[in-house]
């Protein structure tokens, strides 16, 4: 980062200033001095844009832009109001050297009339605080941002009293603001740099900042587009695969969805739903491949499974057979695993056990964990969905005592051990046996314990891992 100037209105011959030109304006100046100044400017811009280019997050990119402007202009604090012209958001205020309370105080400054650039209605502080009775433009070239300079806030009686009051409270004596825009996005928002004492930024450094901001605005526009894409993907994922499970009568539920830093491996689906006459349905599965197409397939399978469970949930084989047909018709080139568990209604309120009927299509068996036992609920072997010539495996039956937990999990949990499949199953069973009595009695605590104990120590999860625990009361 270039060295911050000692003062915003220091002499042009100050060697600490970015873009300093030795002897500029004296009889010693000449072509060599100008070339040296240009080289210094290019080096400064290169360093600043290089730092900006290494940011991948929209907020980090905004903060880096504010830091660069502060270093060039000699300001200590800054504020950016993100308010895209297309109205699609997001809208937010990001500060440099400003607390949330101080940003809140700036928001109370009334928006001035006759401003030179638009501002966010909810963030009028940027333009209102920078607006002045006189404004000057340091760069009149086409496309240059319209600057708003106020060199002495306290001394300008034309400003709104609230403007000067907030400035005095924050110790702000001067401000310099510019809008940021990029093609084809249009206006992105506005930035203002705040000074601790009266001053007007050096014209040369303002021109240098204007050149930097042209690059920064385009980078911010790209980060904004990426942030919107990520937000849209999260919204779609949450709509297709909610991050929580609704409470159900007769069972305590816990869901843990550990997302890998990068998409890979598979896309999971899961559900727990109330069925007619007090029965419960639990399901879990994975589709092959990452990305939006796999997410859409997972959402489709989850929706289809819910419908089939309501119609014929007491026969898990029929449910998965219908799901097999759905996958063949909608995603003929995709495979998926699935497990469906039907918990029959209790015959009497004081019955000590719950009868479960399970069917699996290539998915690992559930683990039953209680005070007195830890055992896999064996399921008949079957190929995954999309690979069946006909249904190959019958359903299996399990009796679960009151207070025992049925743990469903994705295959990625076993792969996270880094061990062969047999060893991974042994590791999962051992981890459950090592759970404390308190953890065995709480499905959320049990799921958390398993998520910590099963994956190899220090091994990052390359895929999403889902655990769905149901303790039957």
Task: With cut-offs at 50, 70 and 90, classify the pLDDT of residue 373.
Answer: very high
Q: How many helices (H) and strands (E) does the chain have?
A: 12, 15
Strand bridging mode 266-274 / 353-361: unpaired
Whether 241 shows a pLDDT value over 70: the answer reads no
Beta bridge partners of 255: 468
Residues 408-464: tens digit of each pLDDT: 999 999 999 989 999 999 999 999 999 999 999 999 999 999 999 999 876 666 678
Instruction: Tell me the C-alpha distance between 341 and 320, whole Å.
Output: 11
What are 152-191's pLDDT values in tens digits? 988 888 888 888 888 899 999 999 989 999 988 888 999 9
pLDDT of residue 22: 46
Question: What's the pTM?
Answer: 0.61
Note the pLDDT of residue 381. 73
pLDDT value at 338 more than 80:
yes
Structural contact between residues 85 and 102, judged by C-beta atoms closer than 8 angstroms: no
Sheet holding 374-376, edge to edge: 251-258, 465-472, 405-409, 367-369, 374-376
Q: What is the DSSP letter of 365?
A: P
Gap between the Cα atoms of 93 and 443, Å rounded: 40
Please check the confidence at residue 291 and state whether its pLDDT lies above 90. no
Is residue 47 predicted with pLDDT exceeding 70? yes
Which three-class secondary structure state does DSSP give residue 444?
helix
More confident residue, 248 or 340: 340
Domain spans of the chain?
A: 31-234, 241-472
What would the pLDDT profile of 448-465 be if each residue is shown by its tens digit? Answer: 999 999 998 766 666 789
Tell me how many degrees the CA angle 234-236-241 measures, rounded to the nearest 5: 90
Is 308 a residue whose pLDDT tops 90?
Answer: yes
Mean of per-residue pLDDT scores for the chain: 81
Band of pLDDT at residue 281, cut at 50, 70 and 90: very high
* Residue 262 pLDDT level (bands cut at 50, 70, 90): low
CATH of domain 241-472: 3.60.40.10
As a whole number, mean pLDDT of residues 240-262 equals: 79
Reported as a single tens digit per residue, the pLDDT across 116-147 is: 223 333 333 444 444 432 333 334 344 444 78
5 has pLDDT over 70: no
Task: Judge whether 193 and 70 are in contact, CB under 8 Å.
Answer: yes
CATH class of the domain defined by 31-234: alpha beta
């Amino acid at each position: 980062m270039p060295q911050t100037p000692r003062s915003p209105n220091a002499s042009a011959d100050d060697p600490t200033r970015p873009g300093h030109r030795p002897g500029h304006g004296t009889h010693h100046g000449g072509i060599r001095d100008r070339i040296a100044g240009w080289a210094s400017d290019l080096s400064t811009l290169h360093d600043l844009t290089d730092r900006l280019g290494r940011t991948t997050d929209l907020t980090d990119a905004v903060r880096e832009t504010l830091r660069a402007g502060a270093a060039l202009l000699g300001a200590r604090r800054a504020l950016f109001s993100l308010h895209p012209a297309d109205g699609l958001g997001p809208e937010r205020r990001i500060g440099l050297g400003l607390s949330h309370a101080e940003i809140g105080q700036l928001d109370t400054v009334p928006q001035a009339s006759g401003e030179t650039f638009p501002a966010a209605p909810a963030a009028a502080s940027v333009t209102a605080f920078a607006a002045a009775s006189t404004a000057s433009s340091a760069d009149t070239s086409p496309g240059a941002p319209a600057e708003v300079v106020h060199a002495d806030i306290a001394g300008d009686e034309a400003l709104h009293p609230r403007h000067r009051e907030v400035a005095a409270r924050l110790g702000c004596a001067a401000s310099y603001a510019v809008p940021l825009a990029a093609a084809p996005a249009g206006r992105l928002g506005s930035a203002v740099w705040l000074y601790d004492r009266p001053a007007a930024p050096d014209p040369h450094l303002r021109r240098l900042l204007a050149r930097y901001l042209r690059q920064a605005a385009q980078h911010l526009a790209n980060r904004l587009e990426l942030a919107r894409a990520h937000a849209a993907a999260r919204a779609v994922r949450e709509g297709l695969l909610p991050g929580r499970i609704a409470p159900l009568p007769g069972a305590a539920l816990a869901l843990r969805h550990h997302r890998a830093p990068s998409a890979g491996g598979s896309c999971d689906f899961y559900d727990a739903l109330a069925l007619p006459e007090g029965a419960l349905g639990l399901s879990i599965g994975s589709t092959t491949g990452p990305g939006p197409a796999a997410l859409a397939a997972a959402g489709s399978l989850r929706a289809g499974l819910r419908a089939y469970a309501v119609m014929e949930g007491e026969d898990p084989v029929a449910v998965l057979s219908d799901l097999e047909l759905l996958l063949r018709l909608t995603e003929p080139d995709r495979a998926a695993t699935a497990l469906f568990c039907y918990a029959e209604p209790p015959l009497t309120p004081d019955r000590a056990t719950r009868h479960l009927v399970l069917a699996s299509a290539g998915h690992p068996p559930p683990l039953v964990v209680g005070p007195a036992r830890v055992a896999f609920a064996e399921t008949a072997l079957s190929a995954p969905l999309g690979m069946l010539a006909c249904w190959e495996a019958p359903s299996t039956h399990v009796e679960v005592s009151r207070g025992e937990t049925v743990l469903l999990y994705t295959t990625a949990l076993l792969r996270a051990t880094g061990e062969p499949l047999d060893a991974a199953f042994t590791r999962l069973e051992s981890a459950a046996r090592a759970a404390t009595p308190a953890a065995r009695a709480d499905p959320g605590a049990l799921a958390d314990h398993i998520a910590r104990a099963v994956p190899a120590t220090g091994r990052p999860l390359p895929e999403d891992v889902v655990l769905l625990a149901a303790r039957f009361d």
